């Protein structure tokens, strides 16, 4: 990840990269169309969103209780539960489990939470081989990059770029730009790895408290391989992924796959309820679940921002975000990009660190309209902007509140307030003053890089209305 560059640098890099822009533009167009085709009836969609949203709200309202129930159920299903407060704790727990099992080679299914804790880097440092088995993740692991989308990690790469990366690492296969052929070749490579692996690691989409069932959504079968072939399976999940009942999974899965990839259902849907039982012929001999907090319980304490945790990671908000479409995922510099990223990451890592992400939003509202669990993303982003400049860090739940208040900018808004809250001052100044001029004296110039300067009209509407004889109160 390009941690050393500033957000502005990364934005400029992204905007200068035409290939990147065209890759994202066509991919997002495709995904939006696929989703739209799955929801032809707005009323039915709204009903489903209401149901999904209330299931997730219910999870969050009873989070502690459900997590305890989940732990009990998992343990009674012979799945060992570990609680991790931080990324480091989670990594250490996973490492210890692997070490105890003498596991040296690991296959991993696609999981954003393991990206979040940077598990690969941690384990590689300890000389453990960890291989991504989702095709997209596999390719970006080869390219030594990070996912640029939470569902489609290699979406920033064109077919040509993918072919090149693959050929560089596997010269034994004949060069091809045929994606189906590359998939077949990757499959050959991965099959052997699945057979040889000492352990499989996966994420979780829904963890059912009622039954202790771990649900995993995927399309390639690699998730099933990771969770059934190796003798040891470790599942990692954020604590917010718990749902109360098994029946909750049905509407959530329905809206997740349709929202994410426009699929009626994914090719594979795994419901994992225990390690291999006596007499069974497959499945891991032992299973562990890591329940990760990593900032989530703090977000959970904030009643207003809590809705962030309803997210089921479909990626629909980024698919529909016009800013994400321009930039792609890497420019954000965070694990989760796009609207959910700029909402979640400043809360997790603090406004001082990442508050500037919230500026990458036009408030167009597209994300909020498509979110399957009705997270009011624009409202939350707006609230974070306010926390950034007006919040008081001493008694706020969001770290770094108030840290983005800048003297010049706040003076500009104070001036704006003085003028616009007083009709007399406003009419005196209205000829020479525009809102835009006040906002950021330093950066107003860039408006002109792409546009002409708007010219104030000779007469104001107030004057025209007066001349035309309209009543004025």
Partner 1 sequence: MPVNEVYFMGTCLVDLFYPKAGLAGMQLLEREGIKVIYPSKQTCCGQPAFNSGYRKESLPVARSLIKCFPKDIPIVIPSGSCAGMIKYHWPELFEGESDIETALSVAERVYELTEFLVDKLNVELTDLGEPTKIAIHTSCASRNEMKIADRIENLVSQLSKVEVLEQERKSECCGFGGTFAVKQADISGAMVNDKTDTLKATNASSVISQDCGCLMNIGCALEKQNSKLKTQHIAEFIWDRTHA
Write out the two tokens for 194. Answer: 């699945």
Q: Name which of residues 230 to 289 contact partner 1 (CB under 8 A).
A: none
Please state, in angstroms and rounded to a whole number, the distance separating the CA atoms of residues 185 and 14: 31
> Is residue 366 near partner 1 by the rule CB under 8 A?
yes
Largest CA distance in the chain: 92
Among 385, 398, 399, 400, binds partner 1 (CB under 8 A): 385
> Is residue 426 near partner 1 by the rule CB under 8 A?
yes
> Is residue 396 near partner 1 by the rule CB under 8 A?
no
> Is residue 449 near partner 1 by the rule CB under 8 A?
yes
Please state, in angstroms and rounded to a whole number, the distance separating the CA atoms of residues 34 and 32: 5
Please state, in angstroms and rounded to a whole number, the distance separating the CA atoms of residues 318 and 338: 5
Least distance in Å: CB of 55 to partner 1? 24
Least distance in Å: CB of 335 to partner 1? 21
Among 274, 359, 393, 403, binds partner 1 (CB under 8 A): 359
Quickly list DSSP for 102-170.
T--EEEE---HHHHHTTHHHHHHHTT-EEEE-SHHHHHHHHTT---SSSS-TTTTS-HHHHHHHHHHH-
In this structure, are strands 105-108 and 199-202 parallel, antiparallel, or unpaired? parallel
Among 2, 6, 12, 191, binds partner 1 (CB under 8 A): 12
Residue 254 exposure: Cα atoms within 13 Å on the Cβ side: 15
Q: Name which of residues 327 to 356 contact partner 1 (CB under 8 A).
A: 327
Q: Contact 255/46 with Cβ under 8 angstroms? A: no
Among 281, 365, 396, 400, binds partner 1 (CB under 8 A): 365
Per the DSSP assignment, residues forming a β-bridge with 268 are 218
Please identify, using beta-carbon distances, which residue of 18 and 282 lies nearer to partner 1.
18
Least distance in Å: CB of 195 to partner 1? 46
Query: Quick one: DSSP state of residue 361?
Result: -
> Is residue 386 near partner 1 by the rule CB under 8 A?
yes
> Is residue 416 near partner 1 by the rule CB under 8 A?
yes
CA pseudo-torsion sign 153, 157, 163, 166: negative
Least distance in Å: CB of 455 to partner 1? 8
> Is residue 144 near partner 1 by the rule CB under 8 A?
no
Q: Contact 276/222 with Cβ under 8 angstroms? A: no
Closest CA to 154 of 23, 250, 277: 23
Q: Contact 148/334 with Cβ under 8 angstroms? A: no
Please identify, using beta-carbon distances, which residue of 70 and 327 lies nearer to partner 1.
327
Q: Name which of residues 92 to 131 contact partner 1 (CB under 8 A).
A: none
> Is residue 473 near partner 1 by the rule CB under 8 A?
yes
> Is residue 361 near partner 1 by the rule CB under 8 A?
yes
Please state, in angstroms and rounded to a whole number, the distance separating the CA atoms of residues 348 and 340: 12
For residue 116, the tally of other CB atoms under 10 A from its CB is 22
Among 121, 362, 406, 428, binds partner 1 (CB under 8 A): 362
Listing from the earlier edge strand, what are the strands of the sheet with 199-202? 79-84, 286-292, 232-238, 199-202, 105-108, 129-132
Least distance in Å: CB of 63 to partner 1? 25
Q: Name which of residues 29 to 68 contact partner 1 (CB under 8 A).
A: 29
Q: Name which of residues 180 to 209 contact partner 1 (CB under 8 A).
A: none
Please identify, using beta-carbon distances, which residue of 21 and 298 lies nearer to partner 1.
21
Among 238, 275, 368, 400, binds partner 1 (CB under 8 A): 368
Least distance in Å: CB of 329 to partner 1? 14
Please state, in angstroms and rounded to a whole number, the distance separating the CA atoms of residues 268 and 248: 18
Among 388, 398, 399, 400, binds partner 1 (CB under 8 A): 388
Query: Who's near 260: CB < 8 A, 6+ residues apart?
Result: 35, 151, 314, 315, 316
Q: Binding segment for partner 1 among 45-53, 101-109, 234-242, 453-461 (CB under 8 A)?
A: 453-461
Please identify, using beta-carbon distances, which residue of 268 and 416 lies nearer to partner 1.
416
Least distance in Å: CB of 284 to partner 1? 46
Least distance in Å: CB of 317 to partner 1? 13
Among 176, 302, 393, 440, binds partner 1 (CB under 8 A): 440
> Is residue 461 near partner 1 by the rule CB under 8 A?
yes
Among 1, 101, 389, 397, binds partner 1 (CB under 8 A): 389
Among 323, 340, 371, 398, binds partner 1 (CB under 8 A): 323
Please identify, using beta-carbon distances, which residue of 78 and 359 lies nearer to partner 1.
359
Quickly list DSSP for 261-312.
HS-SS-SEEEEE--SPPTT-SSS-SEEEEEEE-TTHHHHHHSTTGGGGGG--
> Is residue 417 near partner 1 by the rule CB under 8 A?
yes
CA pseudo-torsion sign 19, 22, 25, 30: negative
> Is residue 26 near partner 1 by the rule CB under 8 A?
no
> Is residue 17 near partner 1 by the rule CB under 8 A?
no
For residue 284, the tally of other CB atoms under 10 A from its CB is 22
């Amino acid at each position: 990840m390009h941690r050393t560059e500033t957000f502005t640098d990364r934005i400029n890099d992204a905007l200068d990269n035409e290939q990147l822009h065209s890759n994202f533009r066509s991919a997002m167009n495709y995904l939006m169309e696929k989703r739209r085709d799955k929801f032809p009836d707005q009323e039915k969609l709204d009903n489903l969103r209401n149901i999904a949203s209330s299931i997730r709200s219910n999870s969050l309202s009873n989070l502690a209780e459900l997590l305890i129930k989940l732990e009990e159920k998992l343990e009674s299903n012979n799945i060992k539960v570990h609680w991790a407060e931080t990324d480091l704790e989670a990594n250490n727990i996973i490492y210890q489990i692997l070490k105890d099992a003498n596991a040296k080679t690991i296959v991993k299914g696609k999981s954003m939470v393991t990206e979040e804790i940077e598990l690969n880097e941690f384990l590689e440092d300890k000389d453990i081989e960890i291989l991504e088995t989702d095709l997209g993740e596999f390719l970006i692991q080869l390219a030594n990059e990070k996912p640029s989308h939470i569902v489609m990690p290699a979406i920033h790469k064109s077919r040509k770029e993918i072919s090149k990366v693959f050929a560089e690492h596997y010269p034994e296969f004949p060069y091809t730009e045929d994606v189906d052929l590359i998939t077949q070749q990757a499959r050959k490579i991965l099959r052997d790895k699945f057979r040889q692996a000492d352990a499989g690691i996966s994420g979780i989409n829904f963890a059912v408290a009622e039954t202790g069932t771990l649900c995993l959504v995927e399309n390639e079968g690699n998730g099933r391989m990771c969770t059934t072939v190796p003798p040891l399976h470790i599942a990692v999940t954020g604590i917010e992924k718990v749902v109360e009942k098994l029946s909750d999974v049905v509407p959530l899965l329905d809206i997740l796959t349709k929202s994410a990839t426009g699929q009626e259902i994914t090719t594979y849907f795994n419901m994992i309820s225990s390690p291999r039982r006596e007499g069974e012929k497959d499945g891991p001999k032992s299973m562990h679940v890591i329940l990760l907090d990593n900032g989530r319980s703090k977000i959970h304490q904030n009643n207003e921002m809590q809705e962030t945790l309803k997210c089921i990671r479909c990626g629909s908000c980024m698919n529909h975000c016009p800013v994400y479409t321009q930039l792609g995922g890497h420019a954000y510099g965070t694990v989760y990009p796009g609207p959910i990223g700029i909402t979640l990451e400043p809360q997790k890592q603090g406004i001082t660190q990442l508050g500037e992400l919230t500026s990458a939003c036009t408030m167009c509202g597209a994300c909020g309209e498509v979110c399957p669990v009705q997270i009011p993303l624009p409202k939350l982003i707006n609230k974070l902007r306010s926390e950034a400049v007006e919040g008081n860090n001493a008694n706020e739940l969001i770290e770094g509140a108030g840290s983005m208040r800048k003297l010049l900018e706040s003076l500009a808004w104070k001036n704006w307030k003085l003028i616009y809250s007083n009709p007399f001052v406003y009419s005196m100044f209205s000829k020479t003053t525009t809102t835009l001029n006040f906002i950021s004296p330093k950066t107003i110039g860039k408006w002109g890089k792409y546009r002409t300067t708007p010219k104030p009209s000779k007469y104001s509407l107030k004057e025209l209305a007066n001349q035309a004889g309209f009543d004025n109160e």
